[in-house]
Structure 1
Amino acid sequence: MTDETSIVTMDDLDAQAARLCEVESYLHLDEKRERIVELEQRSARPDFWDDGERARAVMEELSCARDDVSGVERARTRLADAVAALQLASELEHGDEADELAAEATAAASELTREIDQMELSSWFTGEFDHGSAIITIKPGQGGLEAQDWTFMLFKMYMKYCERRGWKVTVNDCPPADVIGIDRATFTVEGKDAFGMLRAEAGVHRLVRISPTDDKKRRQTTFAGVEVIPVLPDDIDVEIDPTDIRVDVYHASGPGGQGVNTTDSAVRVTHLPTGIVVTCQNERSQIQNKAACMQILKSRLFELELEKREEALDEIRGPKHTIGFGNQIRSYVLYPYQMVKDLRSGVETGNVASVLEDGDLDPFIIGYHRWATGNTVPDTSQV
């Protein structure tokens, strides 16, 4: 992996070129180029939009294929620019112009590394739902009031991360706690590879810091659990017997304006056979909130059916553990030192603010997927 603090070498660029060739092979670019032509011809037909649902699926596939092809072409251009700049710097040997060209090549190589990392990551997503949207739920675990505050901190971190990725977020439920933080948060993330990326976050997250609610300023350890499930595609239908659900409406307690908070717009759906409860209160009408609840409920019931069918570890959400000591996937330490460390991949950083405040999660998410697929490369233990 190219380090921006040292000058890139031609050997580094040769290694990147080899990685790029592998990515092209993974992505089957020739087939995708042919597919793009086919889909473009289909979308140009006069009757294309007669079936709106099918048309949207075609346009989504076309967009993804174009993104893959343009991403590789952009990386090829960046690689060529880096090689040209480095060759010119070598010919000049010394001087300010040579240093500038070498720095330009190094910066291009660093950006190229990030682009190839992302393309490699996408090629590893082979699950049925990996390229689609995700539903995230964050719940407080051990730690009392502190855990509710920690839940809110994680919620804000993921909002920042989704913003960085350019994903659309719909907050379904985020009621404030009585004293500090929030009781829970459920939100839907729409974007390319959203579920594939975010399933790296499923599990228990541990925070160590000086308690903001303790007058004696003692160190406190708190936990929160993150659940990640896919938004089911339209071609997967989960039937729910209307007699199996109970729908309750109540005043919304979260943000949403005066109209939301003064009417019974919030909805709670209970699936009686399983005991699954879903609440949504951030839309402005009961109809919208109920629709959001039913979408989440269907995804959870589908996941439950997979568990029963396989009688093994849940392949979507991961192993289920108590949200407390010994079960964390990642630790965020603010005191007596500062460090965020993923206990699965070993990726860590001392820049805690970049993670919690800026949502800089890509090193951890990419590191997890490298670890999970066995595609480890040097220098992934530090970010």
Structure 2
Amino acid sequence: MNNLLEKITGLGERFLKTKALLDIDGKVAEEKKLRLKMSQADFWSDQVAAIKISQAAENLATETKDWLALEKEIKEIEEMAVLLNQENSQELSVEVQKKYEELEAEFARLEFMSLFSGKYDHYNVLLSLHAGTGGVDAQDWAQMLERMYLRFAERKGWQVEILDVNYGNEAGLKSATLRIAGPWAYAYLKSENGVHRLLRNSPFNADGLRQTSFALVEVIPEIKDDETIVIKNEDLRIDVFRSSGPGGQSVNMTDSAVRLVHLPTGITVSCQTERSQHQNKENALNILKSKLFQLAAEKKEETEKKLKGGVKKAEWGRQIRSYFLYGRRLVKDHRTDYETADVEAVLDGDLEPLMEAYLRWEKNN
């Protein structure tokens, strides 16, 4: 019994330490401030600001809800432990042991959140996919990855907006850009930055020959309000064209698609999923701003050796993960050495074990 009481005491101490590390009390206080603003009569007079404040309050509530619930349950089991120490009841001892195991498992799940300590971890994400070498197989692979991330976002209850997509002529897609919005989106998805390799028997040739395909995934935090990033009109070349769908057919009768070229850096951004040219231009500017922020961060990293927040450039030489769809079916992460044989689950968006392994690896490196 003494051992059980010591475990409960230890759980309470670890909980308080992690709760302080994540500043749960500060976030609860911040949510209350936002809710107070939301209760004011003129709150919706500025709808753009109101939506931002409402979303921020909801995100804070989502972040803190489980921690507050666990805190309440830990206090309850501590009271039960005091009673157990007084009564020494076997029946109560079994009940407390069961409850302790449940709370320990819940704490282990929430403790994972303590890995989210990067400067940009709470940001939304701009995720771009680019088919690499491998022809139509690579384009199909890029679309498989797109589906994988869409399923992951769906599991998390996040919002996804497809900002740009360039379909392949036969199958799959050549490139796509997604905006993924949700609590700690960048913290989770930064693990996906790099080259993903697929090895399988190709469904696109009659002999079903073994094919290796590559796709590049670029993940950057979405930067909207950084005043240090200034885009001058004279630094932009703006092209407009008609949106295209699978097989290259036009999906809009007007030149609504927008391509921005940032002349000083050569960065090119396209958006074509909205029917409004104005909305596509606005989305493209937001992506460009985030890419310029990333570029500035990389330059800073070169001089400081380490950038707080972990913004890393995705390059073709940075192969991070392999997916084997023949023989001994396997997904293997080359950074963490984490591997799983449940390939179907991974491709269906079950990515959290891979992401957790990456975050623990990142913290120790």
TM over 0.5: yes
1:333, CA displacement in angstroms? Answer: 0.7
User: For 1:97-112, what aligned pairs fall within 5 Å after superposition?
Assistant: 108=102, 112=106
Q: Distance in 1 between matches of 2:25 and 2:104?
A: 27
1:355, CA displacement in angstroms? Answer: 0.9
Q: Provide Cα deviations, 1:289-321, integer angstroms capped at 9, x if missing partner.
A: 111111101111121122234435684542443
1:66, CA displacement in angstroms? Answer: 2.7
Q: Relative to 1, partners in 2 of residues 1:103 and 1:339: Cα closer, same or farther, differing over 3 Å?
A: farther
Aligned equivalent of 2:58: 63
Q: Provide Cα deviations, 1:267-292, integer angstroms capped at 9, x if missing partner.
A: 21112222111111111121111111
Aligned equivalent of 1:364: 354
Q: Given that residues 298 and 313 in structure 2 are in contact (C-alpha distance below 8 angstroms), is that contact kept between their aligned partners in structure 1?
A: no
SS of residue matched to 1:340 = strand
Q: 2:158 aligns with which of 159, 164, 167?
A: 167
Q: Which amino acid aligns with 2:362?
A: A
Q: 1:318 aligns with which of 286, 299, 312?
A: 312
Q: Distance in 1 between matches of 2:25 and 2:229?
A: 36
Q: Which amino acid aligns with 1:23?
A: T
Q: Which amino acid aligns with 1:91?
A: E
Q: Distance in 1 between matches of 2:331 and 2:7?
A: 29
SS of residue matched to 2:167 = coil
Q: Relative to 1, partners in 2 of residues 1:321 and 1:36: Cα closer, same or farther, differing over 3 Å?
A: closer
Q: Given that residues 345 and 368 in structure 1 are in contact (C-alpha distance below 8 angstroms), is that contact kept between their aligned partners in structure 2?
A: yes
SS of residue matched to 1:187 = strand
Q: Relative to 1, partners in 2 of residues 1:251 and 1:81: Cα closer, same or farther, differing over 3 Å?
A: farther
Aligned equivalent of 1:249: 240
Q: Distance in 2 between matches of 1:64 and 1:320?
A: 28
Q: Which amino acid aligns with 2:58?
A: S
Q: Relative to 1, partners in 2 of residues 1:319 and 1:280: Cα closer, same or farther, differing over 3 Å?
A: closer
Instruction: Provide TM-score, normalisation by structure 2.
Output: 0.82
Q: Provide Cα deviations, 1:196-233, integer angstroms capped at 9, x if missing partner.
A: 21111101111111111232222211111110111114
1:328, CA displacement in angstroms? Answer: 1.5
The two structures, once aligned, show a CA RMSD in angstroms of: 3.4
Please tell me whether residue 225 in structure 1 is matched to residue 216 in structure 2.
yes
Please tell me whether residue 73 in structure 1 is matched to residue 63 in structure 2.
no
Aligned equivalent of 2:335: 344
Instruction: Provide TM-score, normalisation by structure 1.
Output: 0.79
Q: Relative to 1, partners in 2 of residues 1:33 and 1:136: Cα closer, same or farther, differing over 3 Å?
A: closer
Q: Which amino acid aligns with 1:30?
A: D
Q: How many positions carry a matched residue from both structures?
A: 350
Q: Distance in 2 between matches of 1:41 and 1:72?
A: 22
Q: 1:27 aligns with which of 22, 30, 42?
A: 22
Q: Distance in 2 between matches of 1:239 and 1:298?
A: 8
Q: Given that residues 306 and 314 in structure 1 are in contact (C-alpha distance below 8 angstroms), is that contact kept between their aligned partners in structure 2?
A: no
SS of residue matched to 2:130 = strand
User: For 1:59-208, what aligned pairs fall within 5 Å after superposition?
Assistant: 59-76=54-71, 91=91, 108=102, 112=106, 116-117=108-109, 119-208=110-199
Q: Relative to 1, partners in 2 of residues 1:349 and 1:35: Cα closer, same or farther, differing over 3 Å?
A: same
User: For 1:31-50, what aligned pairs fall within 5 Å after superposition?
Assistant: 31-50=26-45
SS of residue matched to 2:254 = coil
Q: Relative to 1, partners in 2 of residues 1:213 and 1:295: Cα closer, same or farther, differing over 3 Å?
A: same
Q: Distance in 2 between matches of 1:52 and 1:23?
A: 36
